[in-house]
Amino acid sequence: MIVIVANRWDQTPKAIVSRWGEHNVGVVTASDLSLAGWLQHSNGADQGTAVIGRKLVPQEEITGVLTLLPCVFEEELVEIAPEDRSYVAAEMTAFLLFWLSRLQSQCLVLNRPTPSCLSGPCWRREKWIHAAAQAGIPVQPLRRHAALPVSAEEEATPSSATVTVVGKCIFGEVEDDLQRQARRLADMVGVELLAVRFSGPERGASFVSADSLPDFSDDGLADAVLAYLRDGPAKCA
C-alpha cells in the first residue's frame, strides 16, 4: 500500500488517488490519529498497525509514503475541544515525525521528515535563496518592505518558470542548465521532491524560490511520483 499523509481539508490527495486508481493507495489525516487501532513497537518499523483512511492496516503492508503535510494544524482537529487543539496538534505532529522516521527503514518516504517539518525542509524564501547561492546558482535578490497595517513581499516576475525534481527525473520546459541547477539544489538539500522556480526558462535565469510541496495538477508529475514510490529512485515514468 502507498500512503499519502495530508491535511484533512486538502483536495490534492483525492485527485492523486483518482489518478492512481488501480493501485492500493490510502490517505492518513489527523482524523485517523484520533481513532483507536494504532500500535507501534520500539523495535522494528515493520511491526504494529496503523489507521489509514479509518481502516486498520498492518504496517508491513506499507510500501511507500508521500507526505503532503508540514505539520498537523489545530484547525483540522474539529473533534477536539477548542482549548486542547493546540496541544493535541503538537502531539500528533510529534507522533507523525516518529512514525515517518521509522518507516524510512521499511520503505521509501517522499519527502523525508525533518525535525521542524513532516514533508522535508519548510524554509522561508530567504533560506532557500541562501542555499541556492551556496550551490553556485545565480539568485534573484529578495526585497521586503513593511507598510502599515501589513507587510508585503516583492512579487516575482510573471515570466517565471518552475522545474520540479522527482528522484532522478526533472519536469519543466526550461534550458538544460536550469534543470541541472534544480537537481544540484535538491541534492545539496537532500530531498527527492522539489519544485524550483526561476525568473524565466532561458539560460542565465535567476533562482527565485523553492518548495518541497509541488503542484500535483500535472498528471506527468503525479505519475512520476507513483513510479518513484513503486519502483524506486531510478525510475520516474
pLDDT tens, residue order, the chain (237 aa):
999 999 999 999 999 999 998 889 999 999 999 999 999 887 765 678 999 999 999 999 999 999 999 999 999 999 999 999 999 999 999 999 999 999 998 899 999 999 999 999 989 999 999 999 999 999 988 877 666 655 444 454 557 999 999 998 999 999 999 999 999 999 999 999 999 999 999 999 999 999 999 989 888 899 999 999 998 876 555
Write down the pLDDT at residue 47.
76
- Given a contact cutoff of 8 angstroms between Cβ atoms, the answer to whether 26 and 121 are in contact is no
Separation CA 27–CA 6 (nearest Å):
7
- Given a contact cutoff of 8 angstroms between Cβ atoms, the answer to whether 9 and 73 are in contact is no
Q: Please report how many Cα atoms fall inside a 13 Å half-sphere around the Cα of residue 173, on the Cβ side.
A: 3
Bridge partners (DSSP) listed for residue 3? 26, 65
Separation CA 208–CA 179 (nearest Å):
14
Write down the pLDDT at residue 156.
47
Q: Please report how many Cα atoms fall inside a 13 Å half-sphere around the Cα of residue 107, on the Cβ side.
A: 22
User: What cell was used for 101?
Assistant: 522516521
The number of beta carbons lying within 10 Å of the beta carbon of residue 55 is 11
Could you tell me the domains of the chain? 2-110 (no CATH), 125-231 (3.30.470.20)
Write down the pLDDT at residue 105.
87
User: What cell was used for 186?
Assistant: 535538491
Write down the pLDDT at residue 152.
45
Separation CA 91–CA 94 (nearest Å):
5
